[in-house]
């Protein structure tokens, strides 16, 4: 009897928590499927209306911005390029940096590592003007390259990979050496497959991080051609249902990435060996 | 020139520790060499220098006529079995065995042939598709050996490969390693701190202490004729009994007894060593033992007791003798089977 009570009690708590998180999202979605005049007169809706196709298609293809040069579709494309670029590049650089820090007899390796680590304390927002100035001088303003590169060095990911490499037993390296593997082969054949789950976890983190960027893309792009989804959230004008539809769609890419990779994600973050 | 030659090898670690001290030794082709010694004596360091995993501070190592001091481990054509096996956790058994061959650019069919042959030899054919985490200790051990065999290297190196196994499996694997080595005929070096393993496996045994080879010979010669106090104490189980004494004009006087006509011209303080198995009971023997404890092993009894001066002493007798706790035994040394060592230097003097 007590067990039944405690288990139903915890379920009720869970249910309340989930409701608090899901209901607003659901209401935005439901409302985005009505016509705007209906929303203005009846308020937010809980049930789905019949303007789904009309609203979402219009938002995707509407020429927005001041110069009417950008569509939501293009923003999704830009965001996707940027998020993927940031994720790939930061995972790649962190893997390599951690490899060099752990496996090469670099002088002051620990000091160098902490130097990298300290950059966590200096976020992009703090160094945004010098960074912009560098990008401007390199003529990389208004380019995907300029969007991606300055935020693609991740101290956190380097920390994760470094800590993981340090748990890999030395005998594995020695054994691989005797089996004829050079340092590069050891990296490719051993460390990369062994850290697969962690690579995927870091990829998701960095993808979402790149996707959520607002200030940097705002600064480094003056052409509407390079607007990203998060910028669009602020910039898009239009009726309330179209904004709702845009908000709903903006959630899709990160959610999709997590759904697809979640199995590895959980394994990666909570890996115990 | 022999197959593997170590000439005046010295290893000093960056922190100043001297692990190996001017060690020279040579191993013939097909020979099974065992390095034995207590932990930290430098035996593993010596092995790792042969493998190329440690830099050599001084000295030369030649393998098959070539100086290999500066040769990268991957180019030395040496295979090593590690204490914790160091199997590749993300590869299945087949790929564990095949990896070294792939790196040598051998074609796929030949690899398959070699891996299957090695697997058959080691009876691991059924596990080829499994990951190491799904294997038992003994199976992992076999895979580690397979990885060494499959490459047909110039030398096998074993770094205490049996110490992670349980007692029964250890004895079984010990036999298999010996059989395998005889079958494949590859020159091998085996490092262990277990003197039984060392005795049973070795064609030649190097007893190492504090970075120096104390004695290098066949196991039985080392057992019968230990050159120093350390070797005498280390080889043999249960350990040799030691007692203090003085040697003067070919007469040894120890606590409570004398031995005359000792074959030595040494005069001075000495340590007398007698193996527990070289004693037998007699009516008026040299040594009087008060029994504290009897370990019955079945075939043998190990009798532990004290001498007059309260010193511990062990006597091994056949298992069919009944000896009671508290009884007094009178023991004689069989056939002059005793060893006398200089007390200060530990060198053998008889």
Query: Distance between CA B236 and CA B219 in Å, rounded?
Result: 10
- Strands ordered across the beta sheet of B18-27: B18-27, B4-12, B58-63, B66-67
Instruction: Sort out which chain A residues have CB atoms less than 8 A from B51's CB and list them.
Output: 174, 178
- For B233-267, how does the pLDDT look when each residue is reduced to its tens digit (9 = 90+)? 999 888 999 998 999 888 888 877 888 888 888 88
**CATH code of residue B207:** 3.40.50.300
The alpha-carbon radius of gyration of chain A (Å, integer) is: 23
Say if residue B87 is in the same domain as residue B32: yes
| Domain end (from B207, B232, B257) | B232
Instruction: Sort out which chain A residues have CB atoms less than 8 A from B52's CB and list them.
Output: 177-178
Contact of B114 with chain A, judged by CB distance below 8 Å, is answered with no
Say if residue B45 is in the same domain as residue B186: yes
Say if residue B220 is in the same domain as residue B242: no
Say if residue B289 is in the same domain as residue B154: no
Contact of B90 with chain A, judged by CB distance below 8 Å, is answered with yes
**CB atoms B100 and A185 under 8 Å:** no
Rounded to two decimals, what is the model's pTM?
0.80
| Reported confidence tier of residue B222, pLDDT bands at 50, 70, 90 | very high
- pLDDT score, position A1: 63
In which domain, by residue range, is A121 found?
A: 73-272
Instruction: Sort out which chain A residues have CB atoms less than 8 A from B82's CB and list them.
Output: 171, 174-175
Say if residue B264 is in the same domain as residue B226: no
Quote the number of domains for chain B.
2
Comparing A104-108, A172-176, B116-120, B162-166, which segment has the lowest mean pLDDT?
A104-108
Does B348 map to a domain?
Answer: no
When the pLDDT of each residue in chain B is averaged and rounded to a whole number, the result is 90
Instruction: Sort out which chain B residues have CB atoms less than 8 A from A175's CB and list them.
Output: 80, 82, 86, 88, 147
Higher local confidence (pLDDT), B128 or B323: B128
Nearest to A179 among B52, B90, B99 (CB): B99
- HSE of B148 in the Cβ direction (CA atoms, 13 Å)? 30
Which residues of chain A have a pLDDT value below 50? 272-273
Determine which of B100, B148, B154 to mutate to test the interface with A (most A C-beta atoms within 10 Å): B100
Is the pLDDT reported for residue B168 higher than 50? yes
Does A54 map to a domain?
Answer: no
B159: nearest CA partner in chain A: A171
**CATH code of residue A236:** 1.10.3720.10
- For B267-307, how does the pLDDT look when each residue is reduced to its tens digit (9 = 90+)? 889 999 999 999 988 888 888 888 999 999 889 999 999 88
Does B248 map to a domain?
Answer: yes
Say if residue B258 is in the same domain as residue B222: no
Does A156 map to a domain?
Answer: yes
Does B268 map to a domain?
Answer: yes
- pLDDT score, position B62: 93
Does A114 map to a domain?
Answer: yes
Say if residue B247 is in the same domain as residue B198: no
Say if residue B121 is in the same domain as residue B213: yes
Is the pLDDT reported for residue B309 higher than 90? no
**pLDDT above 70: percentage of residues in chain B:** 100
Instruction: Sort out which chain B residues have CB atoms less than 8 A from A169's CB and list them.
Output: 84, 86
Say if residue B314 is in the same domain as residue B215: no
Query: Distance between CA A102 and CA A183 in Å, rounded?
Result: 12
Say if residue B328 is in the same domain as residue B189: no
B53: nearest CA partner in chain A: A174
- pLDDT score, position A273: 39
**CB atoms A169 and B89 under 8 Å:** no
A191: nearest CA partner in chain B: B90
In which domain, by residue range, is B87 found?
A: 4-232
- For A108-149, how does the pLDDT look when each residue is reduced to its tens digit (9 = 90+)? 888 888 888 888 888 888 888 999 999 999 999 999 999 999
B162: left (phi over 0), alpha (psi -120 to 50) or beta: alpha
Does B347 map to a domain?
Answer: no
**CATH code of residue B322:** 2.40.50.140
Does B310 map to a domain?
Answer: yes
Nearest to B103 among A169, A172, A181 (CB): A181
Which are the contacts of A245, defined by CB distance < 8 A and separation ≥ 6?
A32, A55, A56, A59
């Amino acid at each position: 009897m007590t067990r039944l009570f405690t288990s139903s009690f915890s379920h009720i708590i869970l249910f309340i928590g989930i409701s608090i998180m899901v209901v607003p999202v659901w209401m935005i979605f439901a409302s985005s499927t009505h016509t705007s005049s209906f929303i203005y007169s009846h308020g937010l809706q809980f049930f789905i209306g019949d303007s789904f196709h009309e609203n979402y298609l219009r938002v995707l293809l509407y020429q927005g911005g001041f110069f009417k040069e950008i569509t939501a579709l293009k923003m999704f494309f830009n965001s996707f390029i940027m998020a993927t670029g940031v994720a790939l590049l930061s995972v790649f650089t962190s893997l390599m940096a951690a490899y060099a820090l752990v496996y090469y007899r670099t002088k002051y390796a620990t000091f160098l590592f902490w130097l990298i680590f300290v950059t966590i304390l200096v976020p992009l927002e703090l160094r945004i003007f010098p960074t912009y100035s560098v990008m401007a001088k390199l003529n990389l303003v208004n380019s995907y390259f300029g969007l991606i590169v300055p935020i693609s060095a991740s101290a956190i990911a380097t920390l994760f990979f470094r800590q993981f490499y340090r748990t890999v037993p030395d005998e594995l390296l020695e054994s691989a050496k005797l089996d004829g593997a050079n340092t590069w082969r050891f990296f490719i054949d051993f460390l990369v497959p062994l850290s697969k789950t962690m690579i995927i976890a870091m990829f998701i983190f960095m993808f979402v991080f790149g996707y959520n960027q607002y200030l940097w893309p705002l600064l480094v792009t003056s052409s509407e051609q390079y607007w990203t989804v998060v910028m669009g959230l602020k910039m898009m004008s239009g009726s309330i249902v179209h904004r709702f539809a845009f908000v709903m769609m903006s959630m899709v890419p990160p959610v999709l990435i997590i759904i697809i990779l979640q199995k590895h994600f959980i394994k990666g973050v909570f890996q115990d060996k | 020139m022999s197959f593997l030659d170590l000439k005046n090898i010295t290893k000093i670690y960056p922190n100043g520790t001297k692990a190996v001290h001017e060690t020279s030794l040579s191993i013939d082709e097909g020979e099974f060499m065992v390095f034995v010694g207590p932990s930290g004596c430098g035996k593993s360091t010596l092995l790792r220098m042969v493998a190329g995993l440690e830099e050599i501070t001084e000295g030369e190592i030649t393998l098959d006529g070539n100086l290999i001091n500066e040769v990268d481990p991957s180019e030395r054509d040496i295979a090593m079995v590690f204490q914790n096996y160091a199997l590749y956790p993300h590869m299945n058994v087949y790929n564990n065995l095949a990896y070294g061959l792939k790196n040598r650019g051998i074609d796929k069919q030949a690899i398959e042939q070699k891996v299957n042959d090695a697997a058959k030899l080691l009876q691991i054919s059924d596990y080829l598709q499994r990951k190491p985490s799904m294997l038992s200790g003994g199976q992992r051990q076999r895979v580690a050996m397979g990885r060494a065999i499959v490459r047909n290297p110039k030398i096998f190196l074993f770094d205490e490969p049996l110490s992670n196994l349980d007692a029964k499996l250890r004895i079984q694997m010990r036999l298999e390693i010996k059989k395998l080595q005889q079958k494949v005929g590859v020159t091998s070096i085996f490092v262990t701190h277990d003197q039984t393993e060392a005795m049973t496996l070795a064609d030649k045994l190097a007893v190492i202490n504090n970075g120096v080879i104390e004695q290098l010979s066949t196991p039985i010669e080392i057992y019968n004729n230990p050159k120093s106090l350390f070797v005498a104490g280390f080889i043999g189980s249960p350990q040799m009994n030691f007692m203090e004494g003085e040697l003067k004009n070919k007469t040894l006087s120890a606590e409570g007894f004398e031995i005359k006509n000792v074959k030595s011209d040494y005069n001075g303080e000495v340590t007398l060593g007698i193996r527990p198995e070289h004693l037998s009971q007699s009516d008026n023997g040299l040594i009087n033992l008060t029994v504290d404890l009897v370990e019955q092993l079945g075939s043998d009894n190990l009798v532990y007791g004290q001498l007059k001066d309260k010193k511990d002493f062990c006597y091994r007798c056949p298992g069919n003798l009944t000896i009671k706790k508290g009884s007094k035994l009178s023991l004689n040394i069989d056939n002059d089977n005793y060893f006398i060592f200089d007390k200060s230097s530990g060198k053998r003097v008889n």
